[in-house]
A and B are shown apart, each in its own frame.
Chain A
Amino acid sequence: MDQVAELLVLTLAAGTPLVFAALGELVTEKSGVLNLGVEGMMLVGAVTSFMVAATTGSPWLGVGAGMLAGAALSLVFAVLTLSLMANQVATGLALSLFGIGLSAFVGLGYVSIVIEGIAPLGVPGLSDLPLVGKLLFGHNPLVYLSLALFAAIRWFLYRTRPGLILRAVGENPQSAHAIGFPVVRIRYLAVMFGGACAGIGGAYLAVAYTPLWTEGMTAGRGWIALALVVFATWRPWRVLAGAYLFGGVTLATFQAQALGVTVPSQLLAMLPYLATIVVLAIISRDATAIRLNAPASLGRPFHPGL
């Protein structure tokens, strides 16, 4: 039974970067903006956090810096799409390509450096309890942070007035504008929140999960996070479930190798991507459900002068 608990702990650990990135993107998309730059923002968050952690010796400062870096990069996206009305798809792709290039460039001197990362929590006494000890008290502090973020986002979106306004802006920006809500400003905030979350997701990888920096270390997690938001039909708790499902798939590929399964490693490594495709196809199949749940103005530019 302890092994089961151990596996659950590892699954949560593997799914957490997706939780951060996908929840952030969920909030962005709820405001009607589609930011495809998650992969780039995660990488920039990862490299910034690692550099700050390596320089200052404090991984927590690194997480803060990664968060700010993700938000800063998303600001570029916001200016282009919200103020200059650029195409959101093209700009998001540009953000990802730019983030991949930027992180590779600035992180070059940090590739083989070893740092002291954020270690999993160990509450004396409690973490050693049988069964529940590890499960309740043995996670990385950032895992608890991601769960708190989940609860906060759920509460914000569905239980508060600003959350209602955010969703209204995503459903019908013209109406929201007409009754006096600052549509563009709200979207700016939503985009930057998404960027900050993606930055923390990257930081988690660089200073807690691995902890190290390698070029392109997110390995497509930003894109999987985007797919997760669709799987989840834009609902927070499904994002959480989906993220852990994919954490489990990633973990299964590692475990299979450790157990000496003779399938070549490259074929195992394909599994998370193939799983993403299969689940995406199954969920998207119900076009009505997607249309009803997706924010109605998702991806469309809004010009307040019109």
Chain B
Amino acid sequence: MRIRLEPRPEPSRLAGWLSPLIAAAATLVVGFVLFSALGKDPWQAFHVFFIKPVSTLYGVGELLLKAGPLMLCAVGLSVGYRANVWNIGAEGQLTMGAIFAGGIALAFHESTSALVLPLMIVAGAAGGMAWAAIPALLRTRFNANEILVSLMLVYVATYTLSFLVHGPWRDPEGFNFPQSTMFGDAALLPNLLPETRLNAGILLPLAAVAVGWVFVSRSLAGYQMRVAGLAPAAANYVGISAPRTVWIGMLAGGACAGIAGVNEIAGPLGQLQPTASPGYGFAAIIVAFVGRLHPVGILFASLLMSLLYLGGESAQMGLALPSAVTGLFQGALLFFLLASDVFIDYRPRFGGRRRAARR
């Protein structure tokens, strides 16, 4: 018996929604096998990985704290991905946002004005957009592949931040550690939930989800972006500008990632350090796909991904497993998603020893 794939006349919506669930389930199975293979009791490991981190109020705060930047980056990236604009440099745009906002925080270190924080958010968005504008410009003017350019800029941004905290922005009283001075209170996001680290920064990703939903479902530009992604030739024919699509896609991603950078430095970090993020910009690519490139889906996917981060940390302490196991789960999740996505456009047909006649 052989299994054939038969194209569906129309993409299946049901398969589209089921696919992330199948992928999550398959990732759990892999986790089960992996934990067993490493000689851990899988049920206990699952408890340590997925339940224990969120069994306290503090843990729930951490879950939301980590989900924030993932959500922001993924919502921004999804705008471009829908139109086949592949910005994979969110990590660099996040870092550049952190640099711009950090510059503001350091420049107004003594200030107690309530305007410092809004200014940092604007600067962070501007930094992310400036960094995303480079691949957009090179793509539209010089036809250069935005995947490669945006990725190369991740390294450049990371080295820039490292240079700044090792050199001009190093805290003179910081015992030579490569980090800036701690920001003043005016440059820190206020706490939202006592006894947790959750801060007001979580409101920004939630706002991004809302804006993203309006853009995707209710705006002409959002519709045009989708057409440009699904049928480039048709989009061209009806006069949807390809350069404009690239610019919107890249800048949306850059702005959101830049704000995510502000969330990190004005939230949990409270200063500039050599790295601004533990790979949120890359993990957000997975979040965007698992969330079906839809803001509401991304909301849930970012919580799942955040749990994987927390689980990795918890497994490091509770099971003596390396926290790199998180990266493994993230990658596996995306693989399974891509594999089960086949059922959106194709239907499996079982049986028939011979190949059936072709259509």
Contacts and interface: CB of A to CB of B under 8 A. Distances in A.
A93 B149 contact: no
Interface string B1-19: 0001111000000000000
B268 to A, nearest CB: 22
B147 A89 contact: yes
Contacts of B334: 90, 93-94, 97-98
A36 interface: yes
Contacts of A281: 138, 142, 144, 149
Contacts of B286: 94, 97
B148 A280 contact: yes
Given A100-B327, A105-B325, A290 B143 contact: yes
Contacts of A99: 331
B322 A108 contact: yes
B166 A266 contact: yes
A230 B143 contact: no
Interface-centre pick from B324, B334, B342 (highest chain A CB count, 10 A): B324
Given A97-B286, A105-B325, A267 B4 contact: no
Contacts of B342: 84-86
Interface residues of B, number: 51
Interface stretch (A147-155, A203-211, A270-278): A270-278
B192 interface: no
Contact of A305 (B6, B143, B155, B326): B6
A226 B148 contact: yes
The secondary structure that dominates the B interface is helix
A230 B148 contact: yes
Interface in B295-345: 322, 324-332, 334-335, 338-339, 341-342, 345
B144 A280 contact: yes
Contacts of A284: 138, 142-145
A102 B328 contact: yes
Interface stretch (B111-119, B157-165, B243-251, B256-264): B157-165
Contacts of A85: 5, 342, 345-346
Contacts of A84: 5, 338-339, 341-342
A101 B330 contact: yes
A98 B328 contact: yes
B156 A90 contact: no
Given A80-B335, A226-B148, A230-B148, A97 B330 contact: yes
Contacts of B324: 101, 104-105, 108, 215
Nearest to A303: B7
Interface string B276-295: 00000011011001000000
Interface string B129-142: 00000100010001
A87 interface: yes
Interface in A291-305: 303, 305
A130 interface: no
Contacts of A219: 155
B145 A230 contact: yes
A281 B137 CA distance: 10
B145 A76 contact: no
A290 B338 CA distance: 29
Contact of B156 (A36, A87, A105, A273): A273
A39 B155 CA distance: 14
B21 interface: no
B145 A277 contact: no
A277 B160 CA distance: 16
A230 to B, nearest CB: 6
Contacts of B326: 101
A220 interface: yes
Nearest to B135: A277
A132 interface: no
A224 B145 CA distance: 12
A264 interface: yes
Given A85-B5, A102-B331, A284-B142, A273 B325 contact: no
A91 interface: yes
Contacts of A123: none
Contacts of A137: none
Nearest to A279: B144
